[in-house]
A and B are shown apart, each in its own frame.
Chain A
Amino acid sequence: MPWLNAAGNLLLVAAAIAVLYRPLGDYMAWVYTASGHLRTERWIYRLISAKPEQQHSWRGYLGAVFSFSLAGFILLYAVLAFDGMGPDLAFNTAVSFVANTNWQSYVPEQSISYVAQMAGLSVQNFVSAAVSMCVAVALIRAIAAHRAAALGNFWVDLVRTNLRILLPLSIVFAVLLLACGVVQNFTESTALLPGGPVASQESIKMLGTNGGGFYNANSAHPFENPTPISNLMQVLMLLLIPFTLLRTFGTMVSDQRAGYALLLTMSVLFLLVYLPLTYFELHGSGTAPQLAGAAMEGKEQRFGIIGSTLFATATTGTTGGAVNSMHGSYTALGGLMLMVDMVLGEVAPGGAGSGLYAVLVLVVIAVFVTALLLGRTPVYLGKQLGTRELKLVSIAILIMPVLSLGGMALASALPYTRAEIIAGMGNPGSHGFSEVLYAFISAAINNGSAFAGFSANTPGLNTLLGLIILAGRFAPISIVLALAGALATAERASSRSAELPLHRPQFVGFLVSLIMFIAVPTFIPLFLVGPLAEGLMP
């Protein structure tokens, strides 16, 4: 019976995405290729003195991404500092929101005003997601290009993403959330009745795969996520842009099969996490769940286990990081699946924009390996891949493991942060270790969710995790844009008859296995000490 319900929920979300896949995907493709500008847009370009006709090279595009993120960081830091946050916490929070991570060291109800949430954090919810989408689109343009160095104009892409895609979608979903019971007011919060402009922030928090809760309990809070329907809607919102952007990709490279192959890959990975996770939580092994009769600690009655695991899979498989149940109270093996979902590299289906560019990096590797195995030339969508591309993607896949494991090692080695870590653990034994591991993975891959028993709001950890988030955001973006630069100038073959069929199930199967074997094995020793030790103990 629970499995039937799980299937029903999954099918409902899948059906909604299926219905929106073509219209929204093609709409986004139009947004990124249309030549005309709206009146408001032209007005904005004049105001910021951007030349919309100018085309950026990959370096120019990257430079603009950096300038914009830096400006966003400075402004948000100023807003938060003015709001009364201490320097290390303001640094951590500003970096985290600019990087689309939304790791929250702070307790929103106690340390931030409505105005700072609205005019500071919520603005970055829009624009950080938009930056990821722009980078993804620049990469798509490079694949579709034929001996052209230009990747488009970053300012135009950014303004259009916000005005034509994220804002309209946010308005629609904010109204739907309001109808479900999400609050939107400016009444001061009390211990009995919280308030705030929640619906407007909630909708972009989910659509932009940001995840920073208006309240500390995030989407477990009845005012952020009041009903099972709002819950399912939030799952849809997390998955909507990452999945429909695949249609945009297919349309822009004029090969829908390439989009479907990625869609299938991501869906398979999603199920490979969702099914075991749901099994572990329904089974509820472990001392406390057995004693209570079910793994309901940290889960809400209205969602139950099915609604909680579906949300958890969506939030760790995108770079969402919102939670509707406390991941730190999941069964040991359930918690392991959440970490695995992040370690896959955030491609199931990944963040809005970032999921697409992350999976394309992995596709390039898969194409190289298949071509090598079969003795063919590595070609993807008419573009021949060379050593420069291979070097770039090889570095790209090392970033997350190096940042998370290296960062964790460093933090454990330095006496200052080591003391903070030991004091911050909210659980004894291997679960405490899992909390720390989860935090470093979450920061490095820009997810933002947590085993929240771990309190990381200390100067050393705020700074270190902030730096990891920063590197985990901008190192991959730099490499992806460099990759785009390399791909754009290459010739695009007109006849593609000699290419390997890279849309068939064989390739999808190969890509899925490759994704599972790239980073997960690196983490097995740590999983053994953390969740596996906890879950497999007699």
Chain B
Amino acid sequence: MRQKLVSALSSLGTAARLMLVFTLLLGVLYPLSITAAGQWLFPAQANGSLLRNGQGQVLGSALIAKSYTDPAGDALPQYFQPRPSANDYDALASGGSNLGPENPELVKQILLRKTQLAKFNQVPEDQIPPDALTASGSGLDPEISPANAQMQSSRVARARGLSAQQVQQLVREHTTGPTLGFVGQERVNVVELNAALDELG
């Protein structure tokens, strides 16, 4: 019995020391090396794919959606609007709505968005694409479908006094197809598109 206890304790000692070795190696050295590698090989990506304006000011990340609203919380017509966010685009609380398909709350939200978007963009309700009506998984989805961009483009053109062709040209420039033609979906990056519009003046 006593011998068993001694061997169990020595095994625990080995285990504890090994945990410390692993913590040093895998929990400190490894992530620090990857940080160094990232800052050396891919500094732009490693630091968050930052988007800057003409003056070099950081506008945010090209990968993280933000809200384009006035202080009252109303959507600004001169900006393309990202997908709905369950957390109001707060990067300190990323996540989805987690509402189920039959949840009356979700049904209510979708109906409300339908009415608002139809009025905002002056389009019939049945022409609003699904991604404009549903909250993304991260709440920070920077991208919308081309149909969603198409729906918003004439409103943005009107609000900015640009021609429809000018805006549509910009939308095309910020559209990415599925990789290799079948991996992922076709999408338009709203953050980059809006920055480009602002650069246009």
Q: Which residues of A does B touch, CB under 8 Å?
A: 4-5, 8-9, 12, 44, 47-50, 63-64, 67-68, 70-72, 74-75, 107, 109-110, 118-120, 122-123, 126-127, 155, 158-159, 162, 167, 170-171, 174-175, 178-187, 189-195, 197, 199-201, 204, 215-217, 220-223, 226-229, 231-232, 285-289, 291-304, 307-308, 323-326, 328-332, 335, 426-431, 434, 451-453, 534, 537
Interface of B (DSSP majority class): mixed
4 tightest Cβ-Cβ pairs between the two chains A and B: A228-B184, A286-B101, A220-B137, A431-B100
**B187 contacts the other chain (Cβ, under 8 Å)?**
yes
Q: Which residues of B does A touch, CB under 8 Å?
A: 8, 10-23, 25-28, 30-31, 33-35, 37-39, 41-42, 45-50, 60-61, 63-64, 66, 83, 90-104, 106-107, 110-111, 114, 128-131, 133-145, 178-180, 182-185, 187
Distance from B38 Cβ to chain A, minimum over Cβ atoms (Å): 4
Q: How far is the CA of A34 from the CA of B21 in the complex (A)?
A: 23
**What are 16 A-to-B residue pairs whose CB atoms are below 8 Å?**
A75-B16, A107-B93, A127-B19, A171-B30, A179-B42, A181-B49, A185-B48, A222-B141, A222-B142, A226-B49, A226-B63, A291-B114, A297-B106, A300-B143, A452-B98, A534-B100
Find out whether the CB atom of B184 lies under 8 angstroms from the CB atom of A227: yes
Q: How far is the CA of A498 from the CA of B129 in the complex (A)?
A: 63
Find out whether the CB atom of A195 lies under 8 angstroms from the CB atom of B133: no
Find out whether the CB atom of A162 lies under 8 angstroms from the CB atom of B183: no
Known: A110-B93, A216-B93, A303-B185. A291 touches B107 (CB 8 A): yes
Contacting B12 at CB < 8 Å: which of A70, A171, A221, A229?
A70
Distance from A105 Cβ to chain B, minimum over Cβ atoms (Å): 14
Find out whether the CB atom of B14 lies under 8 angstroms from the CB atom of A49: yes
Find out whether the CB atom of B184 lies under 8 angstroms from the CB atom of A231: yes
List B contacts of A192 (CB < 8 A).
60-61, 64, 66, 91
Distance from B104 Cβ to chain A, minimum over Cβ atoms (Å): 7
Find out whether the CB atom of B138 lies under 8 angstroms from the CB atom of A123: no
Known: A185-B48, A431-B102. A167 touches B30 (CB 8 A): yes
Interface of A (DSSP majority class): helix
Q: How far is the CA of A329 from the CA of B139 in the complex (A)?
A: 14
Contacting B27 at CB < 8 Å: which of A119, A159, A324?
A119
Find out whether the CB atom of A328 lies under 8 angstroms from the CB atom of B100: yes
List A contacts of B110 (CB < 8 A).
288, 291-292
Q: How far is the CA of A226 from the CA of B14 in the complex (A)?
A: 41
Find out whether the CB atom of A118 lies under 8 angstroms from the CB atom of B27: yes
Given contacts A287-B101, A292-B134, 15 further A-B contacts (CB under 8 A): A5-B178, A68-B19, A171-B33, A183-B45, A193-B50, A193-B91, A217-B95, A228-B183, A229-B179, A232-B183, A288-B106, A291-B133, A326-B96, A329-B100, A434-B100
Find out whether the CB atom of A183 lies under 8 angstroms from the CB atom of B96: no
Known: A220-B136, A300-B141. A426 touches B99 (CB 8 A): yes
Find out whether the CB atom of B102 lies under 8 angstroms from the CB atom of A288: yes
Find out whether the CB atom of B107 lies under 8 angstroms from the CB atom of A288: yes
Find out whether the CB atom of B102 lies under 8 angstroms from the CB atom of A63: no
Find out whether the CB atom of B103 lies under 8 angstroms from the CB atom of A431: yes
Find out whether the CB atom of B134 lies under 8 angstroms from the CB atom of A297: yes
Contacting A12 at CB < 8 Å: which of B45, B106, B130, B183?
B183
Find out whether the CB atom of B66 lies under 8 angstroms from the CB atom of A217: no
Nearest B-chain residue to A71, judged by Cβ: B15
Contacting A159 at CB < 8 Å: which of B18, B28, B133, B138?
B18
Find out whether the CB atom of A64 lies under 8 angstroms from the CB atom of B11: yes
List B contacts of A185 (CB < 8 A).
35, 38-39, 46-48
Contacting B102 at CB < 8 Å: which of A67, A184, A332?
A332
Q: How far is the CA of A167 from the CA of B185 in the complex (A)?
A: 33
List A contacts of B12 (CB < 8 A).
67, 70-71
Distance from B25 Cβ to chain A, minimum over Cβ atoms (Å): 8
List B contacts of A302 (CB < 8 A).
141, 143, 184-185, 187
List A contacts of B94 (CB < 8 A).
109, 194, 215-217, 220-221
List A contacts of B20 (CB < 8 A).
75
Find out whether the CB atom of B8 lies under 8 angstroms from the CB atom of A181: no
Find out whether the CB atom of A300 lies under 8 angstroms from the CB atom of B130: no
Q: Which of B66, B83, B95, B184 counts the most chain A CB atoms within 10 A?
A: B184
Contacting B103 at CB < 8 Å: which of A182, A186, A325, A428?
A428
Q: How far is the CA of A478 from the CA of B6 in the complex (A)?
A: 22
Distance from B183 Cβ to chain A, minimum over Cβ atoms (Å): 5
List A contacts of B42 (CB < 8 A).
178-179
